[in-house]
Amino acid sequence: MNYEGKALTIAGSDSGGGAGIQADLKTFAAFNVYGMSAVTSVTAQNTMGVSAIYDISPDIVGKQIEAVMEDIGVDAAKTGMLFNSSIIRVVGDKIEKYGVERLVVDPVMVAKSGSRLLEAQARATLIEELFPLAYIVTPNVFEAEIISGISVKSVKEAEKAAILIYGKGPGNVLVKGGHLSTPKAIDILFDGSECYYYESERIDTENTHGTGCTLSAAITAGLAKGWDIRQAIGVAKDYVTRAIREAPSDIGKGHGALYHNLKPASINSQA
């Protein structure tokens, strides 16, 4: 059996293995997609938090992307932690140069521990220069509030935020509702004309480190396999829910990692 697609993650490294490029590559492997990486920052990180960040030079970030594109190519790509404006701009330049159409932008701003993963002055660069290149952006509730400029406390407000974010240029917007006070975890997709809803059970656990990275990576993997956006999100949502449910309890003392070694559902089962 061969790989069913090729996917690139452009993101930060998590030394604890639960988020960032490590989570992305584990997820790509679970989806039988060939995974590649361009490291944007190196973090000293574990389940308790981020203790140090070292940014890779924008030139080296760009050369990593070029090395992948010139030889192997990609069917889909995703961005995660892009700490400063210089890194964001070089990523945008390479995405445009190589005509990457299926780009998933996870607007990583703050770690679950509260550590800042995007410079405040780089927010405008991310929104103005990278969002228009994105096939889909995947903010959580807190990121959606920052990007849209409105409070997001309900599903209706999440819908409004998705529509406002769509106006900033991406092809689709998925507002992740894990932090909403709803009985089920509801994510809202706006595709420019209609909202779609993805529900899952809420699981009582502290082991949720890397859920955002994993979801966006799973969507990227689905797109790399040629699925449409709704199919990719449906399978990704199911995969992340099961990865949380099966999360090991013996990894770290804080927000533990997910269990990535799961077989994704088929797109037929999500119809």
The residues annotated as belonging to the active site are 176, 208, 210-213
| List of long-range contacts for 261-268, beta carbons under 8 Å, 24+ apart | 261/26, 261/30, 262/30, 263/30, 264/30, 264/31, 264/218, 264/221, 264/235, 264/238, 264/239, 265/235, 265/238, 265/239, 266/235, 267/222, 267/227, 267/231, 267/234, 267/235
CA pair distance 234, 200, nearest whole angstrom: 10
CA pair distance 45, 197, nearest whole angstrom: 33
CA pair distance 67, 228, nearest whole angstrom: 28
CA pair distance 80, 148, nearest whole angstrom: 19
Q: List Cβ neighbours of 141 (8 Å cut-off, separation of 6 or more).
A: 152, 158, 175, 176, 177, 178, 179, 180
Of 173, 255, 153, nearest to 206 (Cα)?
255
The vertex-154 CA angle with 149 and 155, nearest 5°, equals: 100
- Positive or negative torsion for Cα 124, 127, 38, 16: positive
